[in-house]
Amino acid sequence: MTPFPYKLIATDLDGTLLRADGTVSQRTRDALAAATAAGAAHIVVTGRAVPWTRHILDDLGYDGLAVCGQGAQVYHAGEHRLLTSVTLDRQLAGLALSKLEAEVGPLALAASRDGLDGEVLVGPGYRVQEGPLPYLPYEDPADLWSAPLNKVYIQHPELDDDALALAARRTVGGLVDVVMAGAGVVEILPLGLSKATGLSLAARRLGARATDTIAFGDMPNDIPMFAWARHGVAMANAHDDLKAVAHEITASNESDGIAVVLEDLLRG
């Protein structure tokens, strides 16, 4: 077998490894298995926090490290253990939201609590995507800040995702980081946190470096990961901002884009 040219394969989940129905195709499973048999390690790098990721990893039989919560959490799937966790300064986040609302008007909010079993809180007016992922509605604004958080989700009644993310970066970018992670998903994160910071921590534990890494993604929150990795591959369904910085564009998540690239690399 030709030696695989990368030690680490980093894959986003939604829109990348997962199809629209939340599953991973057999072809993609087989390609990842072949790549790992050839010496690579597969690491999931997702915006989802651990409680929204764990069931997917269990279904895959995945027992390695995963980077969750936009880099905030490094999770050992085989041991069901949180190795590192970064939380959002709630006072700073509250200040950032106040400044942003003064600029663009009222926002609908949700938040991801820290920990292996941290709930996702959803406030009034926040549009939740249909699906099986659990969340906890709240009415009292104080509930949002009552426990440590990894991130806050924001939505605006009129601004689209790109416009809201741009306005947030312009207004409060010196206080927090802002990412657009998917349709209807704009997030407030600790300043300096990204998928790249979490991935670099996990890679170090695996004895891998940025120059050993190929990364797959589909959204602007994957841009730092592409900047860190040796080779960034955007899915055909990716956001234009990510395609603009990708080294390569593959087929869509529905058409086994990850497998297409891995199979080619395995053939040498």
Count of other CB atoms within 10 angstroms of residue 76: 15
- Say which residues have a Cβ less than 8 Å from residue 225's Cβ, sequence separation at least 6: 10, 12, 45, 194, 195, 196, 199, 215, 217, 232
Alpha-carbon distance 3 to 6, whole Å? Answer: 9
At residue 264, what is the residue type?
D
CB 62 within 8 A of CB 139: no
Alpha-carbon distance 172 to 11, whole Å? Answer: 29
Hey, is 268 helix, strand or coil? coil
pLDDT tens for each residue of 89-125: 999 999 999 999 999 999 999 999 999 999 999 999 9
CB 172 within 8 A of CB 178: yes
Domains of the chain by start residue, with CATH: 8-85+193-267 (3.40.50.1000), 90-189 (3.30.1240.10)
pLDDT in tens, the chain (268 residues): 568 999 999 999 999 999 999 999 999 999 999 999 999 999 999 999 999 999 899 988 899 999 999 999 999 999 999 999 999 999 999 999 999 999 999 999 999 999 999 999 999 999 987 766 789 999 999 999 999 999 999 999 999 999 999 999 999 999 999 999 888 899 999 999 999 999 999 999 999 999 999 999 999 999 999 999 999 999 999 999 999 999 999 999 999 999 999 999 999 8
Alpha-carbon distance 39 to 34, whole Å? Answer: 9
